[in-house]
Structure 1
């Protein structure tokens, strides 16, 4: 199997952490230079029409795009340890928090980065005002996360899941746009320190 990724990007890190938690090592990592537009060439588009990374290429040539879909594939082929829930309720709660972090935090940070940094200005039209507003949305959502984590070890009770992986990768990437948890977020910081101490966080 081959995972096409960019080592410094947040979404590929989510998959690397997921694989590290699973103990899956038989994956070849292929680095894609996003700044140079390597993801936009004809061969890459044939494998991955959206041009987004990461994407997984199986040994038979089948390709799977989208971060969570890639994680789902590995969850199914190697169920232990489960990272997407163990019971029907837990699976629903993991999906709920995964989507909340995705929409209200990770996506907002991504929009802030794309529209204020100019990193992709050769292939999109940045709207700085939208980028600034997205950054404010991300900061506001940290308050909700902090309140939730006041009574929960992880996003879903005492169960570490793919939702926590999404959140730590988003928080670390947020530093690129100068967004970070502070003294107003003690519970989020407690959570961050705990998750950062996991070996998979170094993946």
Structure 2
């Protein structure tokens, strides 16, 4: 297998934390998004969606979504499970993955891609040039504020998002807290359960 990635970006970071936690060794190539290398013909031939990460399997198949790559790697490397230990836990982890992506990640991306001059005509990732909509910046902030409260309420009930063990859901939330810093947003002080969870999750999941 071969992993095309760009370490600083949030989606590659989600997958890399997953890989590191499990101790998986992969050939890795960096795709410099600052230089727009993801739009070059050489990478388009690998992933026409022009996004990273892209996990190329030994048979040539390409997994270009983080959740797909994680499901595949979990099957190959089941030790230290990150997608749940039962059918219910697996459903909860994937549900949180979906919720965090559709609320937190996209809200932060709205703020970033519609408010920064560097993303002019790049308001969405992918091969198309998409114009910015400045009004989406404030909408993104409103969405993110509501998402923090929802996550905080869930963490009042359990030490991790999907129960008593860390999972991909917690990896996603860790990356959300980092990604939010790109737009000068941070976990509100009122969300004390997230603040309590953060050092616990960092100690459990991040390779030291």
Q: TM-score range by the shorter chain?
A: over 0.9
| CA drift at 1:177 | 0.5
> Are residue 167 (structure 1) and residue 160 (structure 2) matched?
no
- For the 8 Å contact 1:116–1:132, the answer to whether it is kept is no
Whole-angstrom CA distance in 2 between matches of 1:33 and 1:15: 17
Report Cα offsets for 1:141-196 as digits up to 9, x if no partner: 10111111112100012121111111110111101111111321110011111112
> In the aligned structure 2, how far is the partner of 1:169 from the partner of 1:60?
30
Shift of 1:202: 4.8
- What are the equivalent positions in structure 2 for 1:12-23 lying under 5 Å apart? 12-23=12-23
- Pairing 1:65-144 to 2, within 5 Å after superposition: 65-122=64-121, 123-144=129-150
Q: Which runs of 5+ in 2 are unaligned?
A: 122-128
How many residues are treated as equivalent by the alignment? Answer: 201
User: Residue 49 in 1 paired to residue 54 in 2?
Assistant: no
| Secondary structure of 2:35's aligned partner | coil
RMSD: 1.5
CA distance in 1, matches of 2:115, 2:175: 20
After superposition, the C-alpha distances for 1:62-96 in whole angstroms (9 at most, x for unaligned) are 32111111111101111112111111111111111
Q: How does the TM-score come out when normalised to structure 2?
A: 0.91
Question: Conserved in 1, the CA contact under 8 Å of 2:38 and 2:50?
Answer: yes
Corresponding position: 1:190 with 2:189: no
Distance 2:29 2:76 in 1: 21
Who is 2:32 aligned against?
33
